Structures are given as structure tokens and as C-alpha cells.
Structure 1
Amino acid sequence: MREPLIDLSDIHLTLGRGDVRTDILRGADLRMKAGETLAVLGPSGSGKSSLMAVIAGLERPTSGRATVLGEDVGALDEDRLARLRGSGIGIVLQSFQLLPTMSALENVSVPMELARTPEATVRARAELQAVGLGHRLTHYPAQLSGGEQQRVAIARATAPRPRLLLADEPTGNLDAANGAAIIDLLFERAGTAGAGLVVITHDPAVAERAGRTVHMVDGRVTE
């Protein structure tokens, strides 16, 4: 039996100290198999983004065990976490997070070059073509629409061929038509890569696309 992509057990995350101490995650449990598509649904403030941050190794749990791609992310140093994200985890955010001084091609290829991925530029060009931006390779983010910028972000996430894709409100800055197209593309690219996909959302229509949906309620995960 293959190990799960994600195995979270009794995850607590507390931020701040003293009077400003806030319990964000309160015993969250989550298990996800390879190739699965999962939606995490819940209102603002329920802990969805914090859960993703723990999975990605961007936040270390205060207590509990977080195993992602077979690694205990709470025990990894920053270098090993960066390598895990660079090769095994692709991340797509609501705000695109593209570098304004780099072209679409550079935004996708440079992170792979820094990770010493072979044929980074070739792979970046192929992935941009796959998301429908083969004609926009030399354009900068300011020259692209919001939908096009999110396509670049998806290409950047999928080009390293990760085993796990994480998307946090990927349609939050887009209109309905562009949002629907981006969700279609996200699921299509994850399927092509054979990657597991976690979509953080507050939109039930987006959640319906996933093979399984869980809900965040007061920092806990409910099926």
C-alpha cells in the first residue's frame, strides 16, 4: 500500500503570546491518498489557509504530527523544507505572486533553475503552452490579465511535476467566467501530472469538482 500524500494527526497551531495568543488549528486531522482531489470548504477564519500552510511547511504546528510526501515537515530544517516544496509541492495562491520584473517564461523557469531542475526553460515553455499561453511567453505580469496571470501561476506550480498541488482560493481575484476556466485548468493539469490536488475554497461550486470534500469548523476538519 502506498503511503498517503498527506497525514495530519491532531494538529494544533497557536500564534502570538499572552493576551494576543490565538488558537488557529485545534486538533485537525486529515489523510489524503496519492492522486486524490480534495476540497477544503469553510468560512473565512475557520483555519483553511493555516491548514494549507502547515501542509506546505510554511507554518510549523505547535503540536501534533504533519507528514507530507513521507516527510515529517515539523522536523525538517528550512533548507530541506525548501527542497520539498521545490520538487514535490506546487502552490497556487489567490494573489498570483508573480515577480513583476520577470516575463511569464522567467516566472516559471527561474524557480526551477534555482532548484537545479534539468531543462528548466524547455519545461517552462511546454507548461505555458499547455495552459494556453504559448503566445505570451515574453509578456510581463502587468501586460497580462488576471486570468492569464493565474495561468502562469498554475504553470509555475505544475512545471516541476510535483506529487502534490495546493491551491488556496485560486479564483478569489477573478470574475466568474475566468474563475470557472481556471478551475477547469487546475483539475486538468493535476490529472495530467497524476498529482494529488487540495483546493482551499469557500465556494461550494468549486468544492463539487473534487472527489472528496472536507469542512473546516473552528480549526478542526470534519468529513
Structure 2
Amino acid sequence: MHLVTNAPESKPAITANHLTLTLGQGAEATAILHGVSLSVPQGQVVALLGPSGSGKSSLMALLSGLERASGGQLIVAGQDFSQLDEDALARARRGRIGVVLQAFHLLPTMTALENVMTPLELAGLPDAEARAREELAAVGLTHRLTHYPTQLSGGEQQRVAIARALAPRPTLIFADEPTGNLDHATGEAIIELLFARRAESGATLVIITHDEALAARAQRIIRLSDGHIASDSLNDPHHASENLHASHDRTL
């Protein structure tokens, strides 16, 4: 019998220690996050839940490197984000972190295809156009490649933003209410795409959602309240697909 001893454990994708976030200064200062600590293993699917104003989007902005914490330490993919300046953070995110925000942040002077190609070109990938076309096809926008953001509906812009986030095949994917502007059928297809891409690459997936059925598909559910982690529990998503479809059936 062959025994494996001292097998190395994979490093966490995210390690946050006592993260705080305060906006404004002096009498106008508002504390958003209060000493949040968590560790996320590589490849885990995490759902962030909580009422509006609980700090979900702010926490995602910190974890993805889009916002800098006011205090605490943050290690992402082995890099100490707490010690990086803005340029270094941008380089650390490039090609490794995909973010889907409620605000799409598409470049208005670029077509849908060019918006998706841009991060691929910045990452130095030689097949930028082919991969961008593939991702736009995956979100059902083959017929919109040459359209500009102002020529697209809100739902179509959301799908371009999702394609842009997934195209570099990031090892960490963050999605803030990714189906918020989509109809039922398209939203369900996008969620399947997110989970499929995560499964293909072994990426870590963190989703902000108000949908309890969608959250049930995650391996871990973290609930925030008033800038604190109110609960953090592992979840068995074995029956999550059935729960998700049952929830959709009840809404039809």
C-alpha cells in the first residue's frame, strides 16, 4: 500500500484579516466594514448575502482589489494587496481576477467585441479576438459584436460585462448580482455559464445575491449585517439545482 505523507495543502485564494473600510473623514466619516476576517480556499464557490447596506458590495470591492481597505491585511492569490499601490494592484488583477459589477463600466467608444478584447490584449494573450468572440457567443451576443454600449439594452450590456470578466479565464471570479438586469431565461443561462467556467478552470467564485435558491448552489454561504459577518457556514449543494428550478417554477 502506497501512503502519501505531508501532502501540501493548497494555499487559500483569499485571506482577509480584520479588514475595515471607512469612507469620508472627520465628522463625515462613515464606517462600512468592521474588522472582517475570512479565508477562502482555491476553487470554492461562495455566496455573499445580506440586506442592502450590509457591506456586501464593499467587501467584494476590497477582495477583488478594486477598493483599498482602511485597515487590516488582505492576501489574494499569494499577494499582499495591503502593500500594493494602484498600479501594482492593476497588474495583480490583470488576467487573474474577473469582476462583474452592477454598474457595467463598458468603454463607450468601443464595440462589444472591443470591450471584451481589451483586457485580453492588456494581458498579452495572442488569441484575444477569437476568445472574445467565443465569450460573446456564450452569452448570446454574436449578433451584437459591432454595436456600441449605447446601442445595447441594459441586459445586453450586462452580458458584455460578464463576457469581459470571463474571457481571460481568471482564477478568481467576483459577481455582484450578475443576473439583476436579465430576464429569467437569460439569467438562468448566465448562472450556468458562470458555474461551468468555474468548473472548467477550478476558479474561485464569489457571488453577491439576494436569491436564496441561487445561494444554495454555493459551497459556502456568508451572511453580512451592518459591516460584520453575521454567519459563515459550509453548504451541501447536492439538491441545489432542484431547489433553484423549484424556486423559478414558483415565480412563473
TM-score, normalised on structure 1?
A: 0.92
- What letter corresponds to residue 182 of structure 2 in structure 1? L
User: Given that residues 43 and 205 in structure 2 are in contact (C-alpha distance below 8 angstroms), is that contact kept between their aligned partners in structure 1?
Assistant: yes
CA RMSD of aligned residues (A): 1.8
Instruction: Return the offset for 1:172.
Output: 2.3
Matching residue within 190, 193, 198 for 1:185: 193
Tell whether 2:51 aligns with 1:22: no
Structure 1 residue 60: deviation in Å?
1.7
Between the aligned partners of 2:139 and 2:210, the Cα distance in structure 1 is 25
2:140 alignment counterpart = 132
Residues 93-152 of structure 1: CA distance to partner in whole angstroms, max 9, x if unpaired?
Answer: 123222232222101002222333332222212222333333432233334343332222
Gaps of 5+ in 2: 1-8, 233-252
Q: Distance in 2 between matches of 1:184 and 1:115?
A: 26
Q: TM-score, normalised by structure 2?
A: 0.82
Hey, what does 2:66 align to over in structure 1? 58
Correspondence 1:109-188 to 2 at 5 A: 109-188=117-196
User: Residue 46 in 1 paired to residue 65 in 2?
Assistant: no
Query: Which whole-Å deviations, capped at 9, do the CAs of 1:54-93 have from their partners, x for residues lacking one?
Result: 1112222222111111111110121211011112100011
- Which among 61, 81, 86 is matched to residue 78 of structure 1? 86
Alpha-carbon distance in 1 for matches of 2:156, 2:197: 15
Show the 5 A alignment for 1:85-100.
85-100=93-108
Change (3 A) 1:106 1:142: same
One-letter amino acid matched to 1:30: L
Deviations 1:190-216 (A, max 9, x none): 222321110012222321221211101
CA distance in 1, matches of 2:173, 2:80: 18
Aligned residues: percent identity? 60
Q: What is the DSSP-based 3-state SS (H/G/I as helix, E as strand, rest coil) of the residue aligned with 1:5?
A: strand
Using the alignment, how far apart are the partners of 1:20 and 1:55 within structure 2? 25
CA distance in 1, matches of 2:112, 2:220: 33
| More RCO (CA 8 Å, sep 6+) | 1
8 Å Cα contact 1:147-1:182 kept in structure 2: no
Contact 1:40 1:48 (C-alpha < 8 Å) held by counterparts: yes
Q: Secondary structure at the match of 1:139?
A: coil
SS at match of 2:207: strand
Count of paired positions: 223
2:217 to 191, 198, 209: 209
Question: Where in structure 1 are there 5+ consecutive unaligned residues?
Answer: none
